[in-house]
């Protein structure tokens, strides 16, 4: 007899498990068991489900490095015992957590899928039930050779499965809340769940390890016409910051400012790292393509290709190690988990 897949659900908070406070009318995070009670269909799936909750479930606006460490530890402590992991998470920062986890795990050979909801599970029109049940089916799915179908960190939402580090929250109101602007869906759930195996990421056959040391001395600067770079002196300052992601215009272009160039040169001379991504919704940075990005290329700003902001920020947090700057820069300049094309 075929054994049922064993899946661990990790509850971290978010709208999916919230209820309305009758006094304030605001949505508040509640216990995971409420979700289980509201979805009795879970008992009918041919899946053995266990669940654990993080110490203190949160609205995902409160997610930070210590939550990512906690979630990663829960996965790695249970990695051998389970066939896959489903993480219930608020939608607001789900793409950041998915990106962070994708970089924190090396040699991953099992599915880690994040999902959540735009409407709490207790509300009749909730999207949470569909997301939860379909995501569980994705995590449980096997290939013909018996290996897990998905062997990477992914986000399931509405009817699509996206690579975690390619996903971004796109809508605050629609059930179709996520998008993967530069990489097509890994699977689409219609009458049947259609998998696109040629798009899957495959880790090298190295031991499964978790990077748990993250660097939060990182900053994000988004350019806009008329930007006053003098206000950013404290950002490009190695006393407080080790790395800056700059969201530039179009294909990686910046205003032609000698002040900015000097700010960056001085920051880099002190050991700071700068990564250039585009603020366009899709497409890629091509430093040197226009004169307005030639300076960046010349002074050694790293091109972030077509990485999302979520992927760029978390990749820096996971891999910017000031003790080994050269290696950090190498990793930041190349594709390591299917997160980027150049
Ligand atoms: N504020 C909520 C959160 O991200 C929104 C949601 O889950 O949809 O936790």
pLDDT at 25: 83
Q: Specify the CATH number of the domain 218-332.
A: 3.40.50.40
Using CB distances shorter than 6 Å, the residues near ligand 1 are 13-15, 59-61, 90-92, 116, 118
Contacts of 248 (CB under 8 A, 6+ apart): 223, 254, 276, 277, 278, 279, 285, 293, 296
Query: Measured from the CA of 60, which atom of ligand 1 is nearest?
Result: 9
What pLDDT, in 10s, does the model give residues 268-315? 999 999 999 999 999 999 887 777 777 888 888 999 999 999 999 999
pLDDT of residue 172: 93
CA 56 to centroid of ligand 1, rounded, Å:
15
pLDDT tens for each residue of 9-54 = 999 999 898 887 888 888 777 777 777 788 888 889 999 999 999 9
Q: Give the Å distances, CA to CA, from 40 to 28, 34, 35, 69.
A: 22, 11, 9, 31
Q: What is the pLDDT of residues 284-294, one digit of tens each?
A: 998 877 777 77
At 168-199, the pLDDT tens digits run: 999 999 999 999 999 999 999 999 999 999 99
150-154, 163-167, 170-174: segment of lowest average pLDDT = 170-174
Tens of pLDDT, residue by residue over 235-256, are 999 999 999 999 999 999 999 8
Pairwise CA distance, residues 207 & 26, whole Å: 45
Q: Quick: pLDDT tens for 76-85.
A: 999 999 999 9
Catalytic residues: 15
Residue 105: strand pairing partners: 210
Question: Given this model, what pLDDT does residue 250 score?
Answer: 93
Distance from Cα 229 to the centre of ligand 1, integer Å: 33
Cα separation, 259 vs 84, in Å, equals 50
Cα–Cα distance, 115 to 296 (Å, whole number): 38
Pick the CATH number of 6-210 from 3.30.1360.150, 3.40.50.1170, 3.40.50.720, 3.40.50.2300: 3.40.50.1170
How far is C-alpha 91 from the chain's CA centre?
Answer: 11
Fold matches, 6-210 and 218-332: yes
pLDDT exceeds 90 at position 260:
yes
HSE on the CB side for 136, CA within 13 Å? Answer: 24
Query: Three-state SS for 10?
Result: strand
Write the residue with the smallest CA distance to atom 7 of ligand 1.
Answer: 90
Q: Output the pLDDT for position 145.
A: 94
Our mutation pick for probing the ligand 1 site, out of 11, 14, 16, 115, counting the most ligand atoms within 8 A of Cβ, is: 14
Which residue is closest in CA terms to ligand 1's atom 1?
59
Four-CA torsion 286, 288, 294, 297, nearest 10 degrees: 70
Locate the domains of the chain by residue range.
6-210, 218-332
Instruction: Tell me what pLDDT residue 1 has.
Output: 59
Could you give the CA distance from residue 30 to residue 12 in angstroms, rounded to a whole number?
10
| Amino acid 288: pLDDT | 78
The closest residue, in CA terms, to atom 3 on ligand 1 is 90
Mean pLDDT of the chain: 94
Segment 105-115 shows an average pLDDT of: 98
């Amino acid at each position: 007899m075929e054994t049922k897949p064993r899946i661990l659900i990790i509850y971290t908070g978010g709208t999916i498990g919230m209820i309305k406070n009758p006094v304030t009318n605001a949505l508040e995070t509640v216990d995971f068991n409420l979700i289980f009670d509201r979805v009795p269909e879970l008992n009918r799936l041919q899946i053995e489900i266990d669940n654990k909750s993080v110490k203190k479930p949160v609205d995902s606006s409160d997610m930070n490095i210590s939550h990512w460490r906690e979630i990663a530890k829960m996965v790695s402590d249970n990695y051998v015992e389970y066939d896959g992991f489903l993480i219930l998470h608020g939608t607001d920062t789900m793409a950041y957590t998915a990106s962070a986890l994708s970089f924190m795990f090396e040699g991953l050979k099992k599915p880690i899928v994040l999902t959540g909801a735009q409407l709490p599970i207790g509300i009749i029109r909730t999207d949470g039930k569909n997301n939860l049940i379909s995501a569980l089916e994705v995590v449980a799915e096997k290939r013909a050779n018996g290996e897990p179908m998905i062997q990477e960190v992914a986000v399931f939402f509405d009817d699509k499965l996206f690579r975690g580090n390619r996903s971004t929250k796109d809508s605050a109101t629609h059930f179709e809340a996520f998008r993967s602007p530069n990489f097509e869906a890994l699977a689409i759930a219609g009458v049947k769940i259609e998998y696109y195996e040629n798009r899957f990421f495959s880790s090298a056959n190295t031991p499964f390890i978790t990077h748990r040391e993250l660097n939060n001395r990182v900053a994000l600067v988004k350019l806009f016409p008329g930007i006053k770079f003098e206000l950013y002196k404290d950002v490009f300052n190695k006393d407080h910051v080790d790395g800056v992601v700059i969201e530039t215009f179009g294909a990686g272009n910046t205003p032609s400012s000698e002040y900015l160039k000097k700010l960056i040169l001085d920051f880099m001379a002190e050991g700071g790292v700068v990564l250039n991504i585009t603020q366009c919704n899709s497409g890629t940075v091509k430093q040197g393509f226009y004169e307005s990005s030639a300076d960046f290329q010349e002074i050694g700003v790293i091109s972030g290709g077509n990485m999302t902001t979520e992927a760029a920020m978390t990749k820096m947090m996971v891999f910017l190690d000031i003790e080994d700057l050269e290696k950090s820069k190498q990793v930041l300049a190349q594709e390591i988990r299917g997160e980027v094309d150049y």
